[in-house]
Amino acid sequence: MGKVATCVMIAAVGCGTTDTGSSTPGLLAEATVLCGPNACGGGAEPVHLPVGFKARVSAFHVFPDSMIVASDITWSSSPDSVIAFDGELRGVSPGAGTATATHALDGTRDDLAIHVHPLRSVAITPRMGTTIQVGGRIELVVMGDYGSTMDGVSFSGPYDLRGSTTDSIVLTSGDSAIASIEPSQLVRGVAPGQTTITATFAGMSDSVGVTVE
């Protein structure tokens, strides 16, 4: 059985490449993708992941002349305060962690260093003049500013935090009798008046005033 090697792919970008132009909601506009030493033949470089973002992970059996996707793999991550694994890797809080793939049959394993970048702030757009008609609905865009560099890798932004590659954004209404939050995360006008909508992501929040007419 060949040695197990882990390979992390962020925002569906291929091994060892950088994506600098994604406009898809929730995908990184800048994603440095680095792989385990055996999967792509490079050095044991850490993978960089912003707080609140997820990364798809694959494990491979590596042979002298080929590699195949490995099955019967057990994934683990540590420390839990920095990264978590629930089918995907997720950046929980800033710091350094490790993801480990272990093959169930022969115990071969590979470790992958993960560096999680801090979130500096979140901001709701539009900032002013948000008006909804009674019975109408709007979608608020929540942007994240990371503005950090670790080991020469930068995540600046702002990034659109909506999408399947991020944690869920929690929206709350200051007065649900005036404006309510639907399961789809749309804000719906209920009755005339003014209230505040708050968005929370990865422990940080921002609020914006909403007028219902």
For residue 145, what is the domain's CATH number?
2.60.40.1080
98 with 136, same domain: the answer is no
16 with 46, same domain: the answer is yes
Pairing of strands 54-62, 89-91: antiparallel
pLDDT per residue as tens digits for the range 64-93: 666 666 677 788 889 999 988 877 788 888
Residue at a domain's end among 117, 149, 172 = 117
Residue at a domain's end among 117, 147, 166 = 117
Which of the four pLDDT bands, split at 50, 70 and 90, describes residue 120? confident
More confident residue, 126 or 128: 126
Q: Which residues, 6 or more positions from 213, have their beta carbon under 8 angstroms from its beta carbon?
A: 131, 132, 133, 134, 189, 192
Stated as kind and residue range, the H or E segment containing 19 is strand 18-19
pTM to 2 decimal places? 0.69
30 with 87, same domain: the answer is yes
Structural domain boundaries, residue 99: 3-117
Cα dihedral 48, 50, 52, 57 in deg (nearest 10) = -20
47 with 129, same domain: the answer is no
